């Protein structure tokens, strides 16, 4: 009996375990170690000092003058501060509205395309929307007398253009999850509320939002992780430029590692990024812990 139990464990789990260990867990541990050693192999905290005091990460001058670049840490924070509430709220509003809109399912599909397409293509779409010549954004702004420009190419607007574009790309995620959630709310709830004289706005805040709270937690967690890991869009649309004005942590790590070949500094950025994603994942870890 003992023997067959071990055999089952090996047959079912070993391929998965071995691959995850070799390609996920071991390299992650290696990166942590790398971050604490210099090129000669001596233990050091210099890498952390260098990264945390670097203008790439936090640019004090830029912050003082209120000019981009502000540093990757702040850029990611701004990204989250705008993208997270916008996509979550828009997702909910669209899910509620399009359920009752004629042709709403077609619109939902198009909104969802934004997150089904490769994010490399998503970055091209952002360039396309904000381009000085072919961009529809400029065509619209012309009505208001704004001179056309390539919004992603100017330091003061590059990051905001990318963030707005990423709202466009990602809203479908929350919308889809909320749409599924709305189906699970019994109609009686709304009917009962109507009989009690509650209007649609009251119903939305008193029934819809509280009942969708578990979904909101998931949408916000996943969106937060997406914002922290953002790479492809920035890489293709601005390369983090101009002059680092739209740089983010993941791009910073790539540049340190594969452009400057400074593995110590790159490992530090990777570790920092991982710490942030782990904090963001706490609600997920908690639900699984409770369950098992």
Partner 1 sequence: MKRFWVNLIGWTLGLIWLVPFMGIFMTAIRPMDELLNGWWNFDEFHPTLKNFYQAWNHPTAPLSQGIPNSLIVAIFATAFPILFATMAGYYLARYTFPLKKSFMTTIIITLALPSQMVAIPIYEMLLKMNLLDSYIGLILLHTAWGIPWITFFMRNFFTTLPIEVEEAARIDGAGDIKIFFKIAFPLSLPAIGSAAALQFTWVWSSFFFELITIYSPDKFLATQRIPLMRGVYHVDWGILSAAAIMVMMVPIGVYLILQKYYVKGMIGWSMK
Site for partner 1 in 69-108 (CB under 8 A): 93-94, 97-98, 100-104, 107
Interaction of residue 212 with partner 1, rule CB under 8 A: no
What is the per-residue burial (b if ≥16 Cβ within 10 Å, else e) of 18-55?
eeeeeeeeeeeeebeebbbbeeeeeebeebbebbeebe
Q: Which residues contact 95 (CB under 8 A, 6 or more apart)?
A: 174, 175, 176, 178, 179, 181, 182
Query: Which one among 60, 185, 192, 278 touches partner 1, defined by CB under 8 A?
Result: 278
Interaction of residue 129 with partner 1, rule CB under 8 A: yes
Query: Which one among 57, 80, 83, 131 touches partner 1, defined by CB under 8 A?
Result: 131
DSSP state of 172: H
Judged by beta carbon, residue 73 or residue 253, the one nearer partner 1 is 253
Within 37-66, the residues that bind partner 1 by CB under 8 A are none
Interaction of residue 109 with partner 1, rule CB under 8 A: yes
Residue 27 main-chain phi, psi, to 5 deg:
-65, -35
Which alpha helices (H) appear in the chain, and where do they start and end?
A: 2-20, 26-35, 46-52, 60-65, 72-100, 104-116, 119-130, 136-142, 155-183, 187-195, 200-203, 209-211, 213-229, 232-237, 249-258, 263-280, 282-291
Nearest Cα residue to 128 out of 160, 165, 154 = 165
Judged by beta carbon, residue 149 or residue 229, the one nearer partner 1 is 229
Nearest Cα residue to 253 out of 238, 235, 279 = 235
Interaction of residue 269 with partner 1, rule CB under 8 A: yes
Interaction of residue 222 with partner 1, rule CB under 8 A: yes
Interaction of residue 234 with partner 1, rule CB under 8 A: no
Judged by beta carbon, residue 31 or residue 62, the one nearer partner 1 is 31
Instruction: Give the binding range for partner 1 (CB under 8 A) out of 47-55, 73-81, 191-199, 259-267.
Output: 259-267
- The rounded distance, in Å, linking the Cα atoms of 46 and 206 is 53
Query: Which one among 74, 159, 253, 268 touches partner 1, defined by CB under 8 A?
Result: 253
Judged by beta carbon, residue 124 or residue 193, the one nearer partner 1 is 124
Interaction of residue 168 with partner 1, rule CB under 8 A: yes
Query: Which one among 70, 80, 234, 271 touches partner 1, defined by CB under 8 A?
Result: 271
Closest distance to partner 1 from the beta carbon of 167 (Å): 10
Interaction of residue 146 with partner 1, rule CB under 8 A: no
Instruction: Give the binding range for partner 1 (CB under 8 A) out of 50-58, 65-73, 205-213, 276-284.
Output: 276-284
Judged by beta carbon, residue 62 or residue 280, the one nearer partner 1 is 280
- The rounded distance, in Å, linking the Cα atoms of 266 and 72 is 13
- Token readout for 201 is 């706005």
Residue identified by tokens 């208001």 is: 144
Nearest Cα residue to 90 out of 201, 161, 171 = 171
Query: Which one among 44, 203, 235, 241 touches partner 1, defined by CB under 8 A?
Result: 235
Judged by beta carbon, residue 97 or residue 185, the one nearer partner 1 is 97
């Amino acid at each position: 009996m003992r023997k067959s139990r071990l055999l089952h464990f090996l047959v079912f789990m070993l391929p998965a375990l071995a691959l995850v260990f070799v390609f996920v867990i071991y390299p992650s541990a290696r990166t942590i170690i790398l971050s604490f050693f210099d090129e000669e192999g001596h233990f050091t905290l210099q890498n952390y000092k260098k990264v945390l005091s670097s203008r790439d990460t936090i640019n004090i001058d830029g912050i003082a003058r209120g000019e981009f670049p502000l540093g990757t840490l702040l850029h990611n924070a701004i990204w989250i501060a705008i993208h997270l509430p916008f996509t979550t709220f828009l997702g909910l509003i669209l899910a509620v509205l399009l359920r009752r809109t004629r042709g709403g399912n077609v619109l939902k599909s198009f909104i969802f395309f934004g997150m089904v397409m490769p994010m490399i293509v998503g970055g091209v779409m952002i360039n396309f929307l904000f381009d000085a010549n072919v961009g529809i954004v400029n065509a619209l702004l012309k009505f208001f007398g704004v001179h056309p420009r390539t919004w992603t190419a100017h330091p003061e607007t590059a990051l905001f253009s990318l963030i707005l574009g990423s709202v466009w790309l990602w809203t479908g995620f929350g919308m889809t999850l909320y749409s599924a959630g709305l189906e699970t709310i019994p109609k009686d709830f709304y009917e009962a509320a109507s009989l009690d004289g509650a209007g649609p706005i009251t119903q939305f805040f008193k029934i819809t939002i509280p009942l969708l709270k578990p979904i909101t937690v998931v949408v916000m967690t996943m969106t937060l992780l997406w914002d922290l890991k953002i790479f492809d869009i920035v890489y293709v649309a601005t390369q983090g430029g101009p002059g680092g004005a739209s740089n983010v942590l993941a791009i910073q790590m790539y540049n340190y590692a594969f452009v400057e070949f400074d593995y110590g500094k790159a490992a530090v950025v990777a570790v920092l990024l991982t710490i942030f994603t782990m904090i963001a994942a706490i609600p997920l870890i908690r639900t699984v812990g409770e369950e098992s």
